[in-house]
């Protein structure tokens, strides 16, 4: 079980539906000082699990990103970035790092900023130069942060599959066979989890739920393309908890071993 993290539930619940990956930023538009302080503060405060943290770096970050083939898909012109790390000895660190990082992404969204989780299309060694990483602290991913251009360019639309990356699997495909019998807070939490972002929109998670708990597991069996599916599941875990709080339900996470990830137990 973990200590109860401080989650600004209505603020982050609203941000879940507003967030979407954005890759092209307005050139030379910096983040205002008060928003930069807010990002620094949330990175310092939202550390629910020992070993997992986010670091805000308020420096232009265009050169940290690369395209998939040539320049295609490259993140352009972000005035700043956020790094997401985890100390490898800490247990269940992949999912804890995903959970922690998504809190920062949702706070950035609530502040009116745009982001895009990036685990593949960047240069980790260049990003690491801005970070004072500890021994055994792994850099999992970064996100650009700033103001996206108003309209998605053709290339940005291409990267989001002309809307198809917004597509999410149905609850039954995600293993939930008793949807009709579940209480409202469980259904609401599963809906929020279903809409979580994941690397290449692979949605590797599955869920099983009853009246008092929701279990997250790694559903997909194929390879992980070099990036932890448990990290994606950690992102979905935060969405579960935010939505549960929105429905007035508090709970605690019990971490589980592979292929299970964690179970959220309703408390009270
Ligand atoms: C852990 C993680 C890693 C990601 N890595 C990349 C990446 O390397 N490059 C990229 O362009 N998008 C990356 N994405 C963005 C996903 O493609 C995107 O979140 C997904 O398609 C869902 O779209 P949405 O965020 O707009 O809901 C990543 C997302 C996550 C959660």
Contact 75, 67 (CB under 8 A): no
Rg from Cα positions in the chain = 18
Site to substitute for ligand 1 among 15, 18, 197, most atoms within 8 A of C-beta: 197
Question: For residue 205, what pLDDT is reported?
Answer: 98
Pocket of ligand 1 (CB under 6 A): 20-21, 73, 116-121, 141, 159-160, 165-166, 197-201, 231-232, 235
Strand order in the sheet with 137-146: 52-57, 80-87, 137-146, 114-115
CA of 197 to the centre of ligand 1 (A): 6
Contact 55, 43 (CB under 8 A): yes
Which ligand 1 atom is at minimum distance from the Cα of 197? 19
Helix (H) or strand (E) holding 246: helix 229-246
Residue matched to tokens 């929701």 = 214
CA of 199 to the centre of ligand 1 (A): 5
The closest alpha carbon to 188, from 82, 266, 85, belongs to 266
Question: For residue 2, what pLDDT is reported?
Answer: 46
Prediction pTM value: 0.96
Question: For residue 151, what pLDDT is reported?
Answer: 86
Contact 185, 250 (CB under 8 A): no
Contact 100, 50 (CB under 8 A): no
**Which residue segments constitute the domains of the chain, with CATH numbers given?**
9-161 (3.40.109.10), 168-267 (3.40.109.30)
Question: For residue 5, what pLDDT is reported?
Answer: 52
Query: How many other C-beta atoms can be found within 10 angstroms of the C-beta atom of residue 248?
Result: 9
Residue matched to tokens 């600004």 = 8
Contact 193, 239 (CB under 8 A): yes
How far apart (Å, rounded) are the C-alpha atoms in residues 254 and 127? Answer: 33
Query: How many other C-beta atoms can be found within 10 angstroms of the C-beta atom of residue 222?
Result: 8
How far apart (Å, rounded) are the C-alpha atoms in residues 18 and 40? Answer: 21
- In order along its 268 residues, the chain shows pLDDT tens digits of 444 458 999 999 999 999 999 999 999 999 999 999 999 999 999 999 999 999 999 999 999 999 988 788 999 999 999 999 999 998 999 999 999 999 999 999 999 999 999 999 999 999 999 999 999 999 999 999 999 998 888 888 888 877 776 799 999 999 999 999 999 999 999 999 999 999 999 999 999 999 999 999 999 999 998 999 999 999 999 999 999 999 999 999 999 999 999 999 999 8
Which ligand 1 atom is at minimum distance from the Cα of 23? 11
The closest alpha carbon to 10, from 116, 111, 110, belongs to 110
Query: How many other C-beta atoms can be found within 10 angstroms of the C-beta atom of residue 245?
Result: 19
Residue matched to tokens 């401080």 = 6
Contact 97, 47 (CB under 8 A): no
Helix (H) or strand (E) holding 216: strand 213-218
CA of 115 to the centre of ligand 1 (A): 10
């Amino acid at each position: 079980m973990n200590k109860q993290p401080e989650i600004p539930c209505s603020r982050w619940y609203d941000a879940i539906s507003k967030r979407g990956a954005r890759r092209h930023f307005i050139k030379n538009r910096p983040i205002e000082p008060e928003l930069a302080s807010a990002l620094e503060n949330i990175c310092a405060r939202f550390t629910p699990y020992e070993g997992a943290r986010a670091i805000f770096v308020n420096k232009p970050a265009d050169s940290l990103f690369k395209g998939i083939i040539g320049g295609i898909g490259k993140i352009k012109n972000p005035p700043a970035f956020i790094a997401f790390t985890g100390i490898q000895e800490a247990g269940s660190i992949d999912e804890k790092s995903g959970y922690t990082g998504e809190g920062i992404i949702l706070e950035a969204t609530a502040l009116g900023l745009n982001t895009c989780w990036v685990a593949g299309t960047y240069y980790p060694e260049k990003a690491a130069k801005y970070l004072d990483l500890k021994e055994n602290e792994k850099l999992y991913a970064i996100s650009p942060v700033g103001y996206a251009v108003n309209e998605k360019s053709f290339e940005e639309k291409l990267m989001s599959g002309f809307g198809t990356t917004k597509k999410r699997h149905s609850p039954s495909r995600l293993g939930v066979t008793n949807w009709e019998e579940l209480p409202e807070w469980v259904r609401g939490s599963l809906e929020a989890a279903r809409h979580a972002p994941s690397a290449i929109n692979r949605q590797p998670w599955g869920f099983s739920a009853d009246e008092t708990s929701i279990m997250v597991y790694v559903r997909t069996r194929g390879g992980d393309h070099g990036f932890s599916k448990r990290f994606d599941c950690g992102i979905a875990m935060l969405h579960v908890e935010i939505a549960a709080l929105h429905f007035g339900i508090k709970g605690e996470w019990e971490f589980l071993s592979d292929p299970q990830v964690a179970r959220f137990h309703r408390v009270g």
